[in-house]
Structure 1
Amino acid sequence: VVLNGGGLAQVQDITKELNAALGGREDSVRDLLPQLDQLVGSLDKQRGDIVSAMEGLDRLSSTVQAQHDTLNKALEGIPPALEILVAQRQDITNALTSLGGLSEVASRVIQESGDDFATNVRALSPTLKALADSGNALTQVLGVLLTFPFPQNGIDNVIRGDYANLAMTIDISLPRLDANFLTGTPLAGTLSGPEGVLGKQAGLAGQTGNPLSDPLKPAAPPAQAPAGQAPAAQAPAADPNTIQIPGLPPINIPGLPQGAPAP
């Protein structure tokens, strides 16, 4: 009272008002004092938490103050957003109503086909387990789809600007050409083996000779007819583009090689 600029005259007024406030409430005030003491004790025990909360509130206030302009823009944008929501209220209500209907249908479907659904889920389990066991192999394979036929991890080494580096192994050997183009035809096997290498067909069956060296020998001169006997009629010259395979009709192939030169 003295500090507030009062005097002894005010003490009487304070005492009178205090007696009027406590008059008839002594029991309540007596019960309030232990509770007040307990409250003060609890506050004292939590003084550190209260101080930390106040410091956090101070930091929050600083953050809010730093974002003052952003908050103002956000608050200014709320009314237009609310207007849009109000304009779409009927659509939102219809969507929520339809969602309720969808929930009812889904619930009915699950109740009627719950066993089948559970069976399908159990059947799907091995597939999901296999996908999980594959690890990152599946994702690495999918990465090739965007850069096919080159893998993603090497695309920078393959494509350099407007050109690409490519390594190929092309097999155009006679056995490979025979296997790829002549298999299943009357000419199958003609380009592979000694005949294919020499470019000449082997002799007919029943003729003796070395099948490896005889094709390299020059053709034998025609036999002379005995004296006094007319020479036998010569067979017509064979077409150089025709090959004769025993048991098959002549096959005409333009440009057929006539064999290697004799040594």
Structure 2
Amino acid sequence: MRRYLLLATVLLATACALPGGADVGSRPYRVTAQFGDVLDLVPQAAVKVDDVPVGRVDTVRLAPDGWSALVTMTVNGDVHLPADAHAYLRQSSLLGEKFVELAAPATATTTPLADGATIPLARTNRNPQVEEVLGALSMVLNGGGVAQLQTITQQVNQALNGNESNVRDLLSKIDNLVNNLDRHKDDITKALDGMARLAKTLDDRKTQITGAIDDLTPGISVLAQQKDNLTRMVDALDHLAATATDTVNRSRDDLVADLKALQPTLRQLAAAGQNLPKALQVLMTFPFTDAVLDDVKGDYLNVYLKDH
């Protein structure tokens, strides 16, 4: 039985490597797709569109970046694909051969896929292998995720037991917080945009900021050297303030008495009103007032003074 299985495996591998496949017609074109992993894809593998064979794989080689693969394919010229077509690595059955499926995206461009075009790594993908699925399942079943989920469930039940009202209140507050954030998302976006503009402005002026910081360095050094003197000056100012406060407190009663004594004088000055400025005008022209000067003819005045 083991011999028959080995023979069947050899025949299957040989059949997969034999040339042939889909008819590419008289006007085929070549397409190259970059894959992160091509698994066991081999030349002469099928190229399909909507599960219909339309071409074959010509070569599978290492890309210049050293970690991806370049798959060169020949496609029937009657098959029209958009320039942004995708390439997927598929498997015909559970244990079947690998093939490349070409497909158009949901919103495809009107530009056709040209001869010699390359489908980049961003538009290629592959299905998970059966071995990978079984390995992940084995990890979960053998003391992995299932046991951990049971422990997590038990711990959550213990934490929530008797705290249902608190948890419900917490969830309610979280819901209010999320709603408030959603209502203010425009303001948050504007704040982030403002921070971005500020950061850009600071980046544009980093030379000036660096120069200002460099210019401040000598001044900071001088302040560091004079910190003892500055400390003594501040202490002296504090002592002066305390002395001034004590002096004002001690002379407060005398100052209030002096101001009260000046009150009658100030009241009389206020009552004099406009008489005081007029008296000052006469004082400046004594003994000849403005009324006497109006009666004088000419540019001089004879005055007789008699001593009694």
Q: Normalized against structure 1, the TM-score is what?
A: 0.40
Structure ranking higher in strand proportion: 2
Bigger Cα Rg = 1
Q: Normalized against structure 2, the TM-score is what?
A: 0.35
